Structure 1
Amino acid sequence: MKKLTPIGLAVSLLFSGCATQNNEQALNAAYNSINAKQLSEHIKTIASNEFEGRAPSTRGEELTLAYLEKHFKSLGFIGGNNGSFYQDVPLVSIEASPDMTLNIAGKAYQYKKDMVMGTSRMSKLESIENSELVFVGYGINAPEYNWNDYKNIDVKGKTVVILVNDPGFATQDDTLFTGNAMTYYGRWTYKYEEASRQGAAGAIIVHETAPASYPWSVVENSWSGPQFGFQKENNNMDRVAVEGWVTLDVANELFAKAGLDFAKEKEKAAKGAYSVGMGDLTASVTVKSEIKKSISRNFIATLPGSSTPNEHIIYSAHWDHLGKDSSKKGDNIYNGAHDNATGTAGMIEIAEAFSMLPTKPARSITFLAVTAEEQGLLGAKYYAANPIIAANKSVANINMDSLNLLGRVTDISVVGAGKSEMDEYLARAAKSQNRTLSGDPRPAAGGYYRSDHFAFAQMGIPAMYSGGGTQAIDEETARYRKRMGLILRGCYHQPCDQFRNGWDLSGAIQDLQLFYQVGLDIADSKDWPKWYEKSEFQRKK
């Protein structure tokens, strides 16, 4: 080895120092390239009326995907599906006619006002006729919790009436299920799935705002109009014929007609597996549906890694929303600005930061924008069943759904906190912003089971879903949070979820920079984040 002279050594150290300084400057430039002005423009475009609410298999989908492809191509990303930016997702749209009534005990309950009914079957005509009503508590069959509401009753051919959420929320008992935090057993999707497995003819969920975590207007808007599902060879005939919701007022009335007190029956249902007949009450309803098959698409883009390109960090967000409601007067476009134009726009910002790095990360960075999240996480479920990147090559998932529009905070909320080592990576990144991790702000809402990361978790891939926080950085922000928080909650799944020039995007930028840093840290390491032992998810062998 050639020895350096003192002058040569000094020059070498000088160049080394310059290289280090230049690298730090480049890293800082990439981090700070995530900015509110660009994010705002992306959100404004994606949530514009021109994009028509971004329903799957519509003109809105075509515009959204073209917008994503344009930007990711310009940033040097390649199509993540063997060169293609798309993964076809075969869907079927089932749109129930609003011309229906639910008839029980001589009374006709009205569509949207009192109930919302539909079917998951690919059938133009489904009905229940004088179907015996049975209350099955929370409608849960969970051996691991020693709980089976169907244990002592045969519901074949009957219509089950079910409570939303799970018993832990009702009792706030940490030893019951997971206490205040909703499990998957509390989700409406599970309720219908289990009722179908039990052979029921119909399934009706009783809506209550607190345990559902949203008002009746969300049911009215989200489960009317076209409802998407997968195209299946059996035409979904293994599902109950009719499924839907009734308001709390209707439930109180029905239980009274059955000689029961709804509140007391609800208390019994929370104490242990429970079911009871509802006297001679029967339900009848006919659902006429328009069936349309279509192909929607997931979007996937990859920045290949510099040394281990076959290992991927996957960022996810759903690009879809509810589209248009042609039966609605006035503003009938569900723009979905917060949910989830923000997350979709955030993907572009993070991708740009990665594209600016002087040296590409060791591992590949992949962005997956999925379809039909609003219809039951369908795009993510399809990807999980047909993964483009194998689970054992997917190192971690970082999901973005409805970014923080409430300003800067000193903490960062973690939905499903304590499930995996992803919390630790996030905590280290947050420290650089002088922020600390806080728990799940709304555990009763079951957020960890309600967005696209859930599909990755079921594959065994550690998935992080976080953002926002509860501690405003100053009094002015606290006042803004109180005012804007009410607007955002009131506009969830409503036409008023529109882009607003007055949004404070500084909190969203904080979070996006954290998500970028977490992904970069894992991508440039040899670490494989793990699930904690107590988590219900583990990597598949």
Structure 2
Amino acid sequence: MQRTVETLASDAYEGRAPSTPVEAKVLKYLIAQMKAVGLKPGGEKGGWLHTVPTVELTSGKHTPITVGGLSLNYGDDYVAVTFREVPKTQITDAPMVFVGYGINAPELGWNDYAGVDMRGKVAVILINDADWMAQDETGTFKGRRMTYYGRWTYKFEEAARQGATGALIIHDTFPAAYGWNVVKSSWSGAQYAVSDNKKGMDNAQSVGWISQSAAQRLFATAGKDYPALVEAARHKGFAPVPLGVKASWSFDTAIRRSTSHNVVGILPGKVAPKEYVLYSAHWDHLGLCAPEAKGSDRFCHGAVDNATGVAALLALAKANVQAGPAARSQVFVALTLEESGLLGSEYYARHPLYPLAQTVGGVNMDALLPGGASRDYAMVGGDKSELSDIFRNVLNEQGLREGPEEHVERGHYYRSDHFSLAKRGVPMFDISRGSDLVAGGRAAGEAAARDYNEIRYHQPSDAYAPDWDWSGISQDVRLYYRLGRVLADGRMWPNWRPGDEFRAIRDASRKPRK
């Protein structure tokens, strides 16, 4: 693992930006390592690669959003983009409908779109879900713990499924977990998407955000009581409210297409070779970054994020090869374009090399932090699936305890590559080493996390150092090995807990099988 991180985080790999000339060097290295540890090619056409076509969409020349006599200015009041591969987006006199939190969850008896035909209309949506103010994890939407229904990605997807022409999320700093400045910077530059034969036409025509003050002015223009409607949206039985006003806006989009690659190796199973356990880690990072100080390095080396995950992936492959094939096949995927919106895993999930209905589950590894071993681990996302039972058994085997996930309101489970598989029904382990370190306790663990998150994350200083303490990472990988091997040598088909947002799709995918 040490050699892998040192190599991938070196200047020679230029920060591992995908779809740039350095990608060929990264792919060559990863293929050589997978061969060396004893994997067989698991990619397309008997090779090692899985081609990921992508599109970069950069919008410009935004007009204000006009609603009657109200004008909302681009940047300060709203941001909007399209994920359709079209050069011009024009929304004209589209009726606006307030749809509360924009959630349609049949398993919870909740439908914010009940009784409304959204075709030709713009959905105006609250961020997060109806439980975000809870102090514990009790509630329809698991209380303070964010579910996928609270994520902006879900809200745009559901608006499109409902046939909406446009979707605008109302920003609010605490339930969003970031300020308007983050929204503005994140949505005003290039956006990236998987490119396929649909050309993004299954998305709404335009999606975006409006600021809290803009929302208040919008509702006042519509003659609606904004606080009262926000309160009503928190309760089951809320019905969508047509605002009685129409919105217009437009912008241009520059389109640039490119390709990148996942790298895939396989260790065929000896008993059930057509049942698969997936191991994943993204190889890409940001390439060049702004220097942190005059004369400092400009490469975003991505040593922790995610050369460590790739090192763990290769170490697990080697360990499993040396142990001998498991009962089920084990697939090891080094994913691309995680930093661009989980696109490598999204493409794999849309176009799986191994059927998702035959994928038992998996383990994802992202940003393993150097430092000491811990006494506890958390299951990120909480007790969502039967994988939690395996997790607890393995912790007990290794003399570890289950600890609490930190900042459950931020929805970390939905922000890494395993999520692309999870939302299509495949349960995936995402675990987090706890802060209660064997040497130094919580104070040492929290200090190490702060140092990385506040100083090094997505900065040139996320670099390899020969004096790293590898004991925590080694502990992580021993745990990953057991979690994956239990799945690969077992017969169970883990499902999501009853009432989980991904249960229905897993049930549907498994229904044809005995």
TM-score by length of 2: 0.82
* Equivalent residue number for residue 164 of structure 2: 200
Matched, 1:381 2:346: yes
Asked if structure 2 preserves the Cα contact closer than 8 Å seen for 1:218 and 1:493, the reply is: no
| 1:344 pairs with one of 310, 322, 329 | 310
* Equivalent residue number for residue 314 of structure 1: 278
- Separation in structure 2 between the aligned mates of residue 226 and residue 477 of structure 1, nearest angstrom: 42
* Equivalent residue number for residue 419 of structure 1: 384
Distance 1:497 1:106, change over 3 A: farther
Instruction: Decide which moves more: 178-187 or 214-223.
Output: 214-223
- Separation in structure 1 between the aligned mates of residue 450 and residue 221 of structure 2, nearest angstrom: 37
Asked if structure 1 preserves the Cα contact closer than 8 Å seen for 2:366 and 2:416, the reply is: yes
* Equivalent residue number for residue 153 of structure 2: 189
* Equivalent residue number for residue 206 of structure 2: 242
Please give the per-residue CA displacement for 1:457-501, whole angstroms capped at 9, x wherever unaligned. 455544211121243334x35334333433544469854673364
- Separation in structure 1 between the aligned mates of residue 27 and residue 16 of structure 2, nearest angstrom: 13
Alignment of 1:480-495 (within 5 A): 480-490=444-454, 494-495=458-459
Asked if structure 1 preserves the Cα contact closer than 8 Å seen for 2:278 and 2:331, the reply is: yes
* Equivalent residue number for residue 19 of structure 1: none
Asked if structure 2 preserves the Cα contact closer than 8 Å seen for 1:218 and 1:492, the reply is: no
Structure 1: which amino acid aligns with 2:447?
Answer: R
* Equivalent residue number for residue 319 of structure 2: 353
- Separation in structure 1 between the aligned mates of residue 413 and residue 454 of structure 2, nearest angstrom: 22
Please give the per-residue CA displacement for 1:382-441, whole angstroms capped at 9, x wherever unaligned. 323332223465333111123345643211110233333433333333334421123543
- Separation in structure 2 between the aligned mates of residue 339 and residue 115 of structure 1, nearest angstrom: 31
* Equivalent residue number for residue 125 of structure 2: 162
* Equivalent residue number for residue 11 of structure 1: none
Asked if structure 1 preserves the Cα contact closer than 8 Å seen for 2:435 and 2:445, the reply is: no
Asked if structure 2 preserves the Cα contact closer than 8 Å seen for 1:342 and 1:403, the reply is: yes
Alignment coverage as a number of residue pairs: 496
Structure 2: which amino acid aligns with 1:64?
Answer: V
* Equivalent residue number for residue 417 of structure 2: 452
* Equivalent residue number for residue 121 of structure 1: 84
Unaligned ranges ≥5, structure 2: none
- Separation in structure 2 between the aligned mates of residue 261 and residue 495 of structure 1, nearest angstrom: 44
Matched, 1:300 2:268: no
* Equivalent residue number for residue 469 of structure 1: 434
- Separation in structure 2 between the aligned mates of residue 459 and residue 115 of structure 1, nearest angstrom: 31
- Separation in structure 2 between the aligned mates of residue 166 and residue 136 of structure 1, nearest angstrom: 12
Unaligned ranges ≥5, structure 1: 1-34
Structure 1: which amino acid aligns with 2:55?
Answer: V
Distance 1:217 1:366, change over 3 A: farther
Distance 1:185 1:521, change over 3 A: closer
* Equivalent residue number for residue 211 of structure 1: 175
Asked if structure 2 preserves the Cα contact closer than 8 Å seen for 1:306 and 1:360, the reply is: yes
Structure 2: which amino acid aligns with 1:429?
Answer: V
Distance 1:258 1:64, change over 3 A: farther
Please give the per-residue CA displacement for 1:333-379, whole angstroms capped at 9, x wherever unaligned. 6655544343223212322333444x454544321122333454433
Asked if structure 2 preserves the Cα contact closer than 8 Å seen for 1:120 and 1:239, the reply is: yes
Structure 1: which amino acid aligns with 2:316?
Answer: I
Please give the per-residue CA displacement for 1:107-133, whole angstroms capped at 9, x wherever unaligned. 45243x554321011101112245444
Alignment of 1:264-275 (within 5 A): 264-272=228-236, 273-275=238-240
- Separation in structure 1 between the aligned mates of residue 332 and residue 441 of structure 2, nearest angstrom: 32
Instruction: Decide which moves more: 143-152 or 257-266.
Output: 257-266
| 1:507 pairs with one of 458, 472, 476 | 472
TM-score by length of 1: 0.79
- Separation in structure 2 between the aligned mates of residue 464 and residue 405 of structure 1, nearest angstrom: 20
1:150 is paired with a residue of what secondary structure?
Answer: coil
Distance 1:221 1:349, change over 3 A: farther
- Separation in structure 1 between the aligned mates of residue 371 and residue 176 of structure 2, nearest angstrom: 23
- Separation in structure 2 between the aligned mates of residue 449 and residue 343 of structure 1, nearest angstrom: 18
Asked if structure 1 preserves the Cα contact closer than 8 Å seen for 2:283 and 2:335, the reply is: yes
Structure 2: which amino acid aligns with 1:519?
Answer: G
Matched, 1:402 2:364: no
Distance 1:64 1:223, change over 3 A: farther
Asked if structure 1 preserves the Cα contact closer than 8 Å seen for 2:15 and 2:285, the reply is: no
- Separation in structure 2 between the aligned mates of residue 64 and residue 262 of structure 1, nearest angstrom: 52
Structure 1: which amino acid aligns with 2:37?
Answer: L
Structure 1: which amino acid aligns with 2:355?
Answer: A
1:313 is paired with a residue of what secondary structure?
Answer: strand
CA shift for structure 1 position 96? 1.8
- Separation in structure 1 between the aligned mates of residue 17 and residue 461 of structure 2, nearest angstrom: 13
- Separation in structure 2 between the aligned mates of residue 243 and residue 446 of structure 1, nearest angstrom: 21
Asked if structure 2 preserves the Cα contact closer than 8 Å seen for 1:228 and 1:372, the reply is: no
Distance 1:464 1:497, change over 3 A: farther
Matched, 1:151 2:114: yes
Alignment of 1:171-182 (within 5 A): 171=134, 174-182=138-146
CA shift for structure 1 position 42? 5.0
1:402 is paired with a residue of what secondary structure?
Answer: coil
1:166 is paired with a residue of what secondary structure?
Answer: coil
2:234 is paired with a residue of what secondary structure?
Answer: helix
2:257 is paired with a residue of what secondary structure?
Answer: strand
- Separation in structure 2 between the aligned mates of residue 219 and residue 50 of structure 1, nearest angstrom: 30
- Separation in structure 2 between the aligned mates of residue 463 and residue 80 of structure 1, nearest angstrom: 20
* Equivalent residue number for residue 192 of structure 2: 228
- Separation in structure 1 between the aligned mates of residue 55 and residue 428 of structure 2, nearest angstrom: 28
Distance 1:50 1:198, change over 3 A: same
- Structure of larger gyration radius: 1
- Separation in structure 2 between the aligned mates of residue 324 and residue 287 of structure 1, nearest angstrom: 29
Asked if structure 2 preserves the Cα contact closer than 8 Å seen for 1:135 and 1:277, the reply is: yes
* Equivalent residue number for residue 290 of structure 1: 254
2:46 is paired with a residue of what secondary structure?
Answer: coil
| 1:134 pairs with one of 97, 100, 120 | 97
Q: CA RMSD in A?
A: 3.6
1:168 is paired with a residue of what secondary structure?
Answer: coil
- Separation in structure 2 between the aligned mates of residue 222 and residue 88 of structure 1, nearest angstrom: 26
- Separation in structure 1 between the aligned mates of residue 64 and residue 300 of structure 2, nearest angstrom: 27
Asked if structure 2 preserves the Cα contact closer than 8 Å seen for 1:426 and 1:518, the reply is: yes
Distance 1:139 1:362, change over 3 A: closer
Please give the per-residue CA displacement for 1:312-349, whole angstroms capped at 9, x wherever unaligned. 332012333455689x9999866555443432232123
